[in-house]
Amino acid sequence: MAKEMSIGELSRHVGVKVPTIRYYEDAGLLAAPPRSEGGQRRYDERARHTLAFIAHAREMGFSLEAIRSLIDLADHPEKPCVDADRIAKARLEDVRRRIDKLRKLEGELERMLAGHHSGKAADCRIIEVLSDHGRCADDH
């Protein structure tokens, strides 16, 4: 028989907080585990693997809905992985959009600081720019 673990042990093994594990169960991403006679949740190796999958996907910024689709796909290995490709490509496009926006933000902060010469708050270029978005060079 495979070793079962408590929610605390699962939390430590995967590095996910206990409330987060419960949240994933409530969201239907992680199957509700069987309980001991004392009512304690008992997780098996499959639950640990699924939770690790969810945690890694969340670290990569996948939405819960995307993760749900990917778990469903993983649970049906006979299916083609075209949906996984679509989901990963959509995430990559989102990351690229964010990187572009962050680069614009970086440039705007550099411009703001380049025009800043310390002194008094009344003459502060940073406060001036933050007070009027029209003074920005880009839509960041």
Question: Is 36 inside a domain boundary?
Answer: yes
Structure token digits, residue 28:
């239907």
Looking at per-residue confidence, does 123 or 131 come out higher? 131
Q: Once rounded to an integer, what is the mean pLDDT over residues 120-138?
A: 76
Q: What separation, in Å, do the N-terminal and C-terminal C-alpha atoms of the chain show?
A: 56
Query: SS3 for 48-101, per residue?
Result: HHHHHHHHHHHHCCCCHHHHHHHHHHHCCCCCCCHHHHHHHHHHHHHHHHHHHH
Question: Is 48 inside a domain boundary?
Answer: yes
Question: Which CATH number belongs to the domain containing residue 10 in this structure?
Answer: 1.10.1660.10
Question: Is 13 inside a domain boundary?
Answer: yes
Question: Is 99 inside a domain boundary?
Answer: no
Residue range(s) defining the domain that contains residue 32:
1-63
Where does the pLDDT of residue 2 fall: very low under 50, low under 70, confident under 90, or very high at 90 and above? Answer: low
Domain count, the chain: 1
Report pLDDT digits (tens) over 16-67: 999 999 999 999 999 999 888 888 889 999 999 999 999 999 999 999 999 9
Q: Which of 54, 66, 55 is closest to 93 using CA atoms?
A: 66
Q: Which of 89, 99, 80 is closest to 140 using CA atoms?
A: 99
Lowest-pLDDT range of 2-16, 88-102, 123-137: 123-137
Distance CA 102, CA 108 (A): 10
pLDDT at 123 over 80: no
Q: What is the pLDDT of residue 122?
A: 72
Q: Are 35 and 48 in contact (CB under 8 A)?
A: no
pLDDT at 1 over 60: no
Question: Is 81 inside a domain boundary?
Answer: no
- Tell me the residue length of the chain: 140
Report pLDDT digits (tens) over 63-117: 999 999 999 999 999 999 999 999 999 999 999 999 999 999 999 888 888 876 7
Question: Is 130 inside a domain boundary?
Answer: no
